[in-house]
Amino acid sequence: MEENQVQEVVSLPRIGDPAPEFTAVTTQGEINFPKDYEGKWVILFSHPADFTPVCTSEFMTFASMQDQFKEANCDLVGLSVDGLYSHIAWLRTIKEKIEYKGMKDVEVTFPLIEDITMNVAKKYGMIQPNEDTTKAVRAVFFIDPKGIVRSMIYYPLSLGRNFDELYRALIAMQTADEFGVATPADWRPGDDVIIGPAGSCGTAKDRMEDSEIDCKDWFFCTKKLDKDLVLDKVLKK
């Protein structure tokens, strides 16, 4: 950095923080965030620009999975620093002209925020100047039904997101909340779950003797969690 340059301080919500509030114009009307989503999970995600190929592939994929996310009580909200008319034109083009990996005639019905002022993007640390000063990076914020930031994932401009992973992360967090457990690497419903580390010698001993808990050592204990029970509770099926 040059001597006289002033570096802007960018804020970034942290896991456990209340989601920063804003009102915004979107392709589905005005939203008041996160208030309008109380009682639901919401994924707020940014993309660099309308009418770009990676973003187009992402929007088609996310829109095709929207019902799956809805079943898990999760709404989607997109954002870029483009204007409303650009958003509308791009979404119409996607529906009318673009075919990708068997997806076609895809209608994006979740709100896409116009953020020309970068007001929202800056609140959520979506502008990362050393990557690009005029475009948002690919940020993903998971916000829970109480409006708390529970996870965030950032990708650079060149890297399209893995939407199966976003869905897996959502279900894993919901499962952790519902059953008071943690989920190990690559967990999917039906896999064993992790019991949090024992906080006392007594608990550690009890766990080692509990026939429903499988302890490899006092600190590494798992238990079975039936896939149907997870799906029943989390997806209310």
Shortest separation between residue 112's beta carbon and ligand BEZ, angstroms: 14
Q: Both tokens of residue 108?
A: 């994006």
Work out whether 98 is an interface residue with ligand BEZ (CB under 6 A).
Answer: no
Q: Interaction with ligand BEZ in 154-183: which residues (CB under 6 A)?
A: 157-158
Backbone φ and ψ of 132, nearest 5°? -165, 135
Q: Which of 10, 31, 54, 89 binds ligand BEZ (CB under 6 A)?
A: 54
- Per the annotation, the verdict on 201 as an active-site residue is no
Closest distance of CB 94 from ligand BEZ, Å: 13
Q: What values do phi and psi take at 141, rounded to 5? A: -115, 125
- Which CB, 112 or 234, lies closer to ligand BEZ? 112
We find the least distance from the C-beta atom of residue 227 to ligand BEZ, in angstroms, to be 36
What is the size of the binding site for ligand BEZ (CB under 6 A)? 9
Q: Which stretch binds ligand BEZ (CB under 6 A): 14-22, 52-60, 164-172, 181-189?
A: 52-60
Which listed range, 3-11, 45-53, 147-155, 215-223, lies at the site for ligand BEZ (CB under 6 A)?
A: 45-53
Q: Per CB under 6 A, does 53 bind ligand BEZ? A: yes
49 binds ligand BEZ (CB under 6 A): yes
Burial class (CB in 10 A: 0-12, 13-18, 19+), 13: middle
Does residue 121 touch ligand BEZ according to CB under 6 A? no
Residue 86 within binding range of ligand BEZ, rule CB under 6 A: no
b/e per residue 189-226 (b: at least 16 CB within 10 A): bebebbbeebeeeeebeebeeeeeeebeeeeebbbebe
Q: Binding segment for ligand BEZ among 10-18, 47-55, 63-71, 208-216 (CB under 6 A)?
A: 47-55
Q: Report the b/e string of 21-48 with b at 16+ CB within 10 A.
A: eeebbbbeeebebbeebeeebbbbbbbb
Tokens 């996607």, located at residue: 94
The one segment of 26-34, 46-54, 106-114, 118-126 that binds ligand BEZ by CB under 6 A: 46-54
* Active-site amino acid positions: 55
Q: Tell me which residues touch ligand BEZ (CB under 6 A).
A: 48-49, 52-55, 135, 157-158
